[in-house]
A and B are shown apart, each in its own frame.
Chain A
Amino acid sequence: MALPPSLRLSVTPPELELIACEQLIEIIPLVAMERTAFISGAFGPLRPPAKCKVPIWMATNLKLKKKCHIVPPDWLNVDFLQDRLTHETSQPEFSQLPFRFAEVAKVLLDVASDDFENPERLRSLLKDIQEARQAKSREGLSKIDHSELSLPNLCSMEINEIRPVFIKAMGVLSQLVREPEGRLPT
Chain B
Amino acid sequence: MSDISLINSAHQPGHTCLAFAKDGSRIYTGGSDSLVRIWKTNLGAEQEPDVAIEAMDGITTVAAGNNAWFSGSEDADVRQYEKDKHEVSGLVTTAIGVPIRCVAVDPKGQRITVTSDEPTVKVIDIEDTTKMFVLKGHTKAVRQATWHPSGSLLTTSGADGKIVAWDVSDSEPKNITTIEGIIPEVYDTDSADFRHDCSAVWHTSGQYFIVATRAHEIISISRTTWSKSATFSDPSCSGATTALALSHNGIYLASASTSGISIWSTQTRRLLFRYQGSVTAPVTKIAFSPTQNLLAWIDTDGVLTRWPDPIPSSSPDPVKLISVGAAVGIPKKRGTTPNLFGDDVEEKDDASKAKDLNLDEEDEYDATMGDLDDDNWILDDIGGGLQDDDGDAKWAAKEGIKEMVSVTKAQPPFQPGSTPMENKKRYLAYNMIGVIEVTDQDTHHIVNVEFHDRSARKSYHFTDHFKYELASLGERGALYACPPEASHPAHVLYKPYGTWASQSEWQYELPQGTRVIGLAAGGPPPTQSMRQKNDMDIQGNGNVVIATSDGELIFLTGGGVERHVMSLPGDFVCMCAGREWVFIVTRDGSTTMDGSQNLTGRLIKFDDFCMLQKDTVPIPKGHTLKWIGISEEGAPIIYDSSGVLNALPRFRIPFAATWTRVLNTNTLDRKEGKHESYWPVGVSGETFMCLILKGRQEHPGFPRPLIQELPLKFPFKRTDAKEGPLEEQFARETMLLDILRDGLDEDELTSTDISRRELALDKSLIQLIQFACKNDKLSRALDIAKLLHHTASFDMAIKVAGFYHLIGLQEKLEALKDDREDGPDKLEAQRERRRDRNAQFVPIPDNKRYSTFAAEPARPKPFQDFRPPPAIPRPGLERAAGASTKATGTSQITESSQFSMDDEPSFDFNAHQDIENSNYSQESSPDGKRKRFEEDSNAENDAKRRAVGDSAGDMRTAQARSNPFARKPGAVDNRNPFTKSTETNKSVHKSDSFFNKIDAAETEKPKRTTTAKGKSKDKKETGRQTTLFGLPAVPPPEKKAPGRKKKANVAEESQSQSQRGSAEPTAKPAEEKTSAESQDTDVTMLESQESQVLTELAEESQERTASPEPIDWPDSPAPVEPEESTLVEIVA
Contacts and interface: CB of A to CB of B under 8 A. Distances in A.
Interface of A: 19, 22-24, 28-38, 40-43, 45, 47-53, 55, 67, 69, 71
Contact of B455 (A24, A32, A42, A50): A32
B462 interface: no
B921 A30 contact: no
Interface in B640-672: none
A31 B452 CA distance: 8
B864 A37 contact: yes
Contacts of A71: 706
Contacts of A32: 453, 455-456, 529
A42 B706 contact: no
A174 B771 CA distance: 56
B452 A19 contact: no
Nearest to B927: A22
A81 B623 CA distance: 41
Given A49-B707, A69-B706, A37 B964 contact: yes
Interface stretch (B70-78, B145-153, B912-920): B912-920
Interface string B927-970: 10100110010000000000000000000000000001000000
B703 to A, nearest CB: 10
9 contacts: A30-B452, A32-B453, A35-B914, A36-B863, A37-B866, A45-B913, A50-B709, A53-B922, A69-B706
B608 to A, nearest CB: 32
Contact of A30 (B454, B924, B926): B454
Contacts of A69: 706
Interface string B843-864: 0000000000000000011011
B432 interface: yes
A37 B455 CA distance: 20
Contacts of B861: 34
B925 A42 contact: no
Contact of B911 (A37, A48, A50, A67): A37
Contacts of A34: 860-861, 864, 913
A38 B863 contact: yes
A45 B684 CA distance: 14
Contacts of A45: 913
A24 B921 CA distance: 9
Given A19-B926, A28-B707, A69-B706, A50 B453 contact: no
Contact of B924 (A19, A24, A48, A49): A24
B1089 interface: no
Contacts of B964: 37
B864 A48 contact: no
A148 to B, nearest CB: 25
Interface string B671-711: 00000000001001001010000000000000000110100
B697 to A, nearest CB: 16
Nearest to B932: A41
A184 to B, nearest CB: 39
Interface string B311-323: 0000000000000
Nearest to A69: B706
Given A24-B924, A37-B866, A49-B689, A31 B454 contact: yes
A19 to B, nearest CB: 7
A31 B453 contact: yes
Contacts of B913: 34-35, 45
Nearest to A28: B706
A24 B918 CA distance: 12
A34 B913 CA distance: 8
The 6 closest A-B pairs by CB, nearest first: A22-B926, A49-B452, A31-B455, A48-B452, A48-B453, A34-B864
Contacts of A53: 918, 921-922
Contacts of B860: 34
A69 B456 CA distance: 17
Interface in B852-890: 860-861, 863-866
B684 A50 contact: yes
Interface string B727-767: 00000000000000000000000000000000000000000
Contacts of A22: 926-927, 929
Contacts of B918: 52-53
Most buried by A among B454, B456, B684, B917: B454
A35 B961 CA distance: 13
Given A51-B709, A55-B926, A35 B452 contact: no
Contacts of A42: 866, 911, 917, 933, 936
Nearest to A39: B929
Contacts of B455: 30-33
A27 B487 CA distance: 48
A52 B861 CA distance: 20
Contacts of B432: 49
A36 B861 CA distance: 9
B706 A40 contact: no
A48 B432 CA distance: 8
Most buried by A among B456, B707, B927: B707
A35 B912 contact: yes
A36 B926 contact: no
A36 B689 contact: no
B454 A67 contact: yes
A37 B965 CA distance: 11
Contacts of B681: 49
Interface in B432-490: 432, 451-456
B454 A23 contact: no
B531 to A, nearest CB: 11
Contacts of B865: 37
A37 B921 CA distance: 14
Nearest to B707: A49
A40 B922 contact: no
Contacts of B456: 32
Given A19-B926, A34-B861, A41 B933 contact: yes
Given A31-B455, A42-B933, A42-B936, 14 more contacts: A22-B929, A30-B453, A30-B455, A31-B453, A32-B455, A34-B864, A35-B914, A37-B863, A42-B866, A43-B921, A47-B684, A49-B681, A53-B922, A71-B706
A142 B985 CA distance: 73
A46 to B, nearest CB: 9
A145 B922 CA distance: 40
B349 to A, nearest CB: 24
A41 B964 CA distance: 12
B830 to A, nearest CB: 29
A43 B917 CA distance: 9
Interface string B27-65: 000000000000000000000000000000000000000
B926 A23 contact: yes
Nearest to A50: B684
Contacts of B706: 28, 69, 71
A45 B914 CA distance: 9
B689 A50 contact: yes
A22 B863 CA distance: 19
Interface string B1037-1068: 00000000000000000000000000000000
B675 to A, nearest CB: 17
A73 B865 CA distance: 31
A29 B451 CA distance: 11
A30 B866 CA distance: 24
A175 to B, nearest CB: 33
A13 to B, nearest CB: 17
Contacts of A49: 432, 452-453, 681, 689, 707
A142 B453 CA distance: 55
Contacts of A24: 921-922, 924, 926
A23 B925 contact: yes
B932 to A, nearest CB: 6
Contact of A40 (B914, B917, B929, B936): B929
Contacts of B709: 50-51
B11 to A, nearest CB: 64
A11 B684 CA distance: 44
A185 B197 CA distance: 113
B844 to A, nearest CB: 24
